[in-house]
Structure 1
């Protein structure tokens, strides 16, 4: 009987704490659980694909390689137009680009074998890593972007 009161007190505290959640402020949006799960999946798979196809030039930490290959970490070019980035991943790029005020003029090879979902995963990974924050690039959006790549400058 001596242990009953402390046990009851612990049980009451536990039960009252389980049902509460922190109050959301007016400017906080509730997180869509499915979007959160999909973002996590895209980030995990995107990292694997990035390490396979992109990190030799852009480096594992996204810092690029000197003046040869541009950084993706904190890249103004990357964050300005994710549609163009998807097209660059698929079709490659020749010619000069400016990234964070520095000129780069190395050819980026095409990855025509990658599927729209793989490109979506890479774009999501690079646009949400190393200080970049863009959210998920959905496969349906990337599929549409890739249809318009022919108009993009290569």
Structure 2
């Protein structure tokens, strides 16, 4: 019985030690500079963003993000997208009518406005700026809310 109690006590100590010791998860950073909470949000936004992309964007920009011939611009490796995320948020929300140049090629098709929430736009932006090796990171909903209030439309 003494051996059982000592084994049980030792097991509990090991279990408690294994569960603790990492400190505050909110401030623990990984190599990308994201804390654990933001890393989880990044993954969640990418999953939900992929679903929203399939609903709102895939018909024009295609599943692989390469766009559609000379009609609709690519998102994969898009200099236009990656150089100005606030502008991208505004275009997703409000659409665009002016010609744009993406990777040296001009596109003149109209992009329709989308009735999406700031959270949904953040999710789509996070997905498209990380898919296809774009590697841009998390677009937070607070950032998107700020960007949308500053849209010039």
Structure with higher helix content: 2
Aligned to 2:108: 105
Aligned to 2:65: 62
Q: How does 1:19-98 map to 2 (within 5 A)?
A: 28=31, 31-98=34-101
Aligned to 2:148: 146
Q: 1:133 aligns with which of 135, 138, 144?
A: 135
Structure 2 portions without partners, runs of 5+: 1-17, 19-30
RMSD: 1.4
Instruction: Give the drift of 1:131.
Output: 1.2
| Count of aligned pairs between the two proteins | 124
Structure 1 residue runs of 4+, over 6 Å off? none
Can you list the C-alpha shifts for 1:4-41, whole angstroms capped at 9, x where unaligned? xxxxxxxxxxxxxx9xxxxxxxxx46652111100000
Aligned to 1:23: none
CA distance in 1, matches of 2:37, 2:149: 26
